């Protein structure tokens, strides 16, 4: 059986085509023609060239593996003597003639007017996954060497770098001085003025030649 993707691809191919009584080509079809196409694709048959009508719908669906009644997650077909519609396994309704041509939508297979229902169990999860092959065995990878531990600090401290020697001051040139006079022992140099370091005495008033007046 084909999955939901195949059914949706068929519906999208013919969606929008006109309602054609007895039609059995991609150009359009009627309600039972669309139910035939969907049932054919779901059971692995060609979509076109093997259609049924509402009068023989029951026997045609039984021949395709359908069962009586409805079921969730299944392809469900509902019909009466003059109309039929389909509900896809994911709940999408499709029909032709409700109104107009083929389209997605409408009442689907669960319309109250339908007196007959049949369903086809389907796997909505898609095709089974292929068996998983045994994993390829690879050679064991060598573990990288463990990182070396950090070096421990030494038991002594390194001496600080020697300091720069202090800058030498430029040589001091003493001012020249006069050599002392060579005198005989016991003699002092003559002094022309007052004691060195004392200022000279200011001159006093000049003496007067006049006599002081006698007291009266």
Task: Collapse the DSSP code of 110 into the 3-class scheme (helix H, G, I; strand E, B; otherwise coil) and give the result.
Answer: helix
- pLDDT range class, residue 57, cuts 50, 70, 90: very high
In this predicted structure, what is the pLDDT of residue 147? 72
In this predicted structure, what is the pLDDT of residue 135? 40
In this predicted structure, what is the pLDDT of residue 95? 96
Structure confidence by residue, pLDDT tens digits, 69-97? 999 999 999 999 999 999 999 999 999 99
Q: Among residues of the chain, what percentage have pLDDT more than 70?
A: 57
Structure confidence by residue, pLDDT tens digits, 122-156? 875 544 433 333 343 334 445 666 777 666 655 55
CATH top-level class for 4-121? alpha beta
In this predicted structure, what is the pLDDT of residue 141? 47
Residue 1 has pLDDT above 90, yes or no: no
In this predicted structure, what is the pLDDT of residue 99? 87
Per DSSP bridges, beta strands 67-68 and 102-104 are: unpaired
In this predicted structure, what is the pLDDT of residue 3? 86
State how far the Cα of 125 lies from the Cα of 123, in Å rounded to an integer: 5
Output the average pLDDT for the chain: 77
Cα 163–chain centre separation: 57
State how far the Cα of 40 lies from the Cα of 7, in Å rounded to an integer: 10
Residue 53 has pLDDT above 80, yes or no: yes
Residue 37 structure tokens? 């196409």
In this predicted structure, what is the pLDDT of residue 42? 96
- pLDDT range class, residue 160, cuts 50, 70, 90: low
For 139: left if phi > 0, alpha if psi spans -120 to 50, otherwise beta; the answer is beta
State how far the Cα of 197 lies from the Cα of 182, in Å rounded to an integer: 23
Cα 9–chain centre separation: 36
Burial degree of 64 (CB within 10 A; 0-12, 13-18, 19+): buried
Domain boundaries, the chain: 4-121
In this predicted structure, what is the pLDDT of residue 148? 73
- 68: which strand partners? 118
State how far the Cα of 121 lies from the Cα of 74, in Å rounded to an integer: 5
Q: Would you give the end-to-end CA distance of the chain in angstroms?
A: 176
Task: Collapse the DSSP code of 77 into the 3-class scheme (helix H, G, I; strand E, B; otherwise coil) and give the result.
Answer: strand
């Amino acid at each position: 059986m084909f999955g939901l993707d195949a059914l949706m691809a068929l519906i999208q191919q013919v969606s929008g085509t006109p309602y054609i009584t007895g039609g059995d080509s991609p150009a359009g079809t009627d309600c039972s023609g669309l139910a035939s196409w969907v049932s054919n694709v779901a059971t692995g048959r060609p979509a076109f060239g093997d259609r049924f009508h509402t009068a023989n719908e029951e026997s045609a669906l039984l021949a395709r593996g359908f069962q009586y009644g409805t079921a969730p997650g299944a392809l469900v077909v509902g019909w009466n003597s003059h109309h039929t519609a389909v509900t896809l396994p994911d709940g999408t309704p499709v029909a032709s003639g409700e109104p107009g041509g083929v389209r997605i939508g409408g009442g689907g297979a669960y319309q109250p007017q339908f007196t007959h229902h049949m369903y086809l169990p389907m796997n909505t999860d898609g095709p089974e996954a292929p068996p998983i092959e045994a994993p390829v065995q690879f050679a064991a990878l060598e573990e990288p060497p463990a990182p070396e531990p950090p070096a421990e600090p030494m038991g002594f401290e390194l001496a600080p770098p020697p300091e720069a020697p202090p800058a030498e001051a430029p040589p001091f040139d003493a001012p020249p001085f006069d050599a002392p006079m060579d005198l005989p022992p016991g003699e002092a140099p003559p002094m022309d003025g007052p004691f060195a370091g004392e200022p000279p005495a200011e001159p006093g008033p000049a003496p007067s030649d006049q006599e002081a007046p006698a007291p009266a």
